[in-house]
Amino acid sequence: MSAIQESALLQALQTVVDPNTGHDFVTSKQLKNLRIAGDDVAFEVELGYPGASQFDALRKSLVAAARGVPGVGNVSVHLSSKIIPHAVQRGVQLLPGVKNIIAVASGKGGVGKSTTAANLALALAAEGARVGMLDADVYGPSQPTMLGATGRPESEDGKLMEPLEAHGLQIMSIGFLVDEDQAMIWRGPMATQALEQLLRQTRWQDLDYLIVDMPPGTGDIQLTLSQRVPVTGAVIVTTPQDIALIDAKKGLKMFEKVGVPILGIVENMAVHVCSNCGHAEHIFGADGGRKMAQQYGVDYLGGLPLAMSIRQQADAGVPTVVAEPEGEIAGLYKALARRVAVKIAGQSKDYSAKFPTISISKNS
């Protein structure tokens, strides 16, 4: 096959656009190792986000585009994902074993932040990423229950704790270290120190994403964490209700002030569908999260329903994404996870590892 035909092939492949990013794979240089042997064509496509559920549809589109070029016979396409570290707040070092940290936050409690965080983590894992969960809600740790994880963390070297595992996630929570009915009567500095220890003294193992389920609110603990933890971006969870939106806006502003990018807003409990008659009702109001996203110029990541199954499955330690992986609600969580991952993939890369550490010593 001649060079002209190769250019025709690339031109044809350029017509296939990734629906998740809006970009084609040729211009974005995600198409690699194009090989032409007679009428056989083979190439690889590397996504910058986890998208296992998208591979088949993308492969079919790419094969169809290639076969539209005269002379092309067999077409072999290999799709994969490569997730890299992205920039965090200025002056904060990346965490060993963790490429990207996503803070899931809310201005107030009771909006379903922890449930959203758990399903977001599981959705990213279902799409092919290596994911961890840090339960940063010291006063009310809920991830051990939601993820069905029990036990005490062990340490192989006496310095770092091994994370517990459930549903393919690496998990750490203060809930593993204290009795279930023990109240954490700590002032802010103690709680913050405990959280930093959980974060930095856990041996996270080659994570693409670490989800941090933040405590609700915008007090001292949240502010200190957002300044010291190397956060790639924050997801704000709210309900459409006006009172929830007021507090969610405070959470958004807090992250902006410390230089953490807002990945977007999740509108939880957006609509309730009656399990008996199917009637849909906006119990907490309609489109509050969407309007807030427009007001502040951030992405609207999606709306999630107020469904009894979501609560029941989380209470049972088997959240929706693993309880009904092919269900409609799991599909919403996976779409949300892809939007978050695509948003991160479009951010600046972290170059700190490329530069040597310079130390200045003073001669005596």
Binding site for ATP: residue ranges?
107-114
Residue type for position 259: G
Residue 291's Cα: distance from chain center in Å? 23
Quick one: DSSP state of residue 172?
E
Closest CA to 268 of 297, 233, 244: 244
Here the tokens at position 197 are 């220890």
Phi, psi of 294 (to 5 degrees): -65, -40
Phi, psi of 238 (to 5 degrees): -145, 165
Cα–Cα distance measured from residue 63 to residue 123, given in angstroms and rounded to the nearest whole number: 27
Cα–Cα distance measured from residue 357 to residue 98, given in angstroms and rounded to the nearest whole number: 19
Residue in the block written with tokens 């996630």: 169
Instruction: Answer yes or no: are the C-beta atoms of 221 and 192 closer than 8 Å.
Output: yes
Closest CA to 171 of 205, 197, 139, 216: 205
- How many of the other CB atoms lie within 10 Å of CB of 271? 17
Cα–Cα distance measured from residue 303 to residue 319, given in angstroms and rounded to the nearest whole number: 17
Instruction: Answer yes or no: are the C-beta atoms of 241 and 275 closer than 8 Å.
Output: no
Cα–Cα distance measured from residue 157 to residue 31, given in angstroms and rounded to the nearest whole number: 43
DSSP 84-110: --B--STT-PPPTTEEEEEEEE-SSSS
- Binding-site members are 107-114
Residue 316's Cα: distance from chain center in Å? 23
- How many of the other CB atoms lie within 10 Å of CB of 299? 15
Residue 207's Cα: distance from chain center in Å? 11
Closest CA to 117 of 258, 321, 359, 343: 321
